[in-house]
Structure formats: C-alpha cells, structure tokens
Amino acid sequence: LVSAMNRVQLLGRVGQDPIMRQVEGKNPVTIFSLATNEMWRTGDSEVSQGALLLLCTLGDISQKTTWHRISVFRPGLRDVTYQYVRKGSRIFVEGKIDYGEYTDKNNVRRQATTIIA
C-alpha cells in the first residue's frame, strides 16, 4: 500500500487584511498573504528559533522572507479568519499545498501556489 501526504504548517505574519471573494456558482473564500522568515548566520546552513537570539551577538545574519498565499474555504474558519485576522497578526496556519494555473489580464498563462488552510 502506497500512501502520500500533502501537509504544510506555517508560522508567520499576515501581510494584508484578509479579503473575502465570491465567484459566481462557488462558495466564498477568504484570502490573505502570510510572510515567513528564515534567518541564519553566515556560514551556517540551518538555525533553530531557539538559537536566534544567540546569533544576534555572534556575527553576520542573513534573512529570507517568503510570501505565501493562503485561502480559507471551510465556512466557520473562513468567516472567523475574515473577521479577526488583521495585517501584522502572527498566526499559525496548517493546510495543504495547491498548485494551479490561471490566465492573467494580458492573456498570459501563469502558475500559482496556494496554501489551502
């Protein structure tokens, strides 16, 4: 028996107030962006959060911010997210990664990665 798993956990800061969209014939969705930061000291390949404070005194620190698009479809969670989550909030998101394609306003085919919370 072969099994597969698509699960992601993110802890970060909300980049904008959530918006709720409704496409005709579909259930509404709440959408927002989430920033996660990865920090490390030059020469190190991996750093745990517990060591972060110590690194501030040891030398050069590099940081990488990654932005994630979060979509919330589940009715109760969708509504609570829209009502209470705000720009700058630090939140934990658990969900699955969804890879999709769309055509932009210039008729260019684009790919999008979304976290379905």
Query: Is the model's pLDDT at 50 over the cut of 70?
Result: no
Could you give the CA distance from residue 74 to residue 96 in angstroms, rounded to a whole number? 13
* Type and span of the H or E element at 99: strand 90-103
Identify the three-state secondary structure at position 40. Answer: strand
Average pLDDT for 69-73: 97
Query: Is the model's pLDDT at 83 over the cut of 90?
Result: yes
In sequence order, which residues have a C-beta less than 8 Å from that of residue 42 and are 6 or more positions away?
59, 60, 61, 62
Domains of the chain: 7-38+60-114 (2.40.50.140)
Query: Is the model's pLDDT at 49 over the cut of 80?
Result: no
Q: What is the reported pLDDT for 9?
A: 97
Average pLDDT for 62-88: 96
Whole-model pTM? 0.76
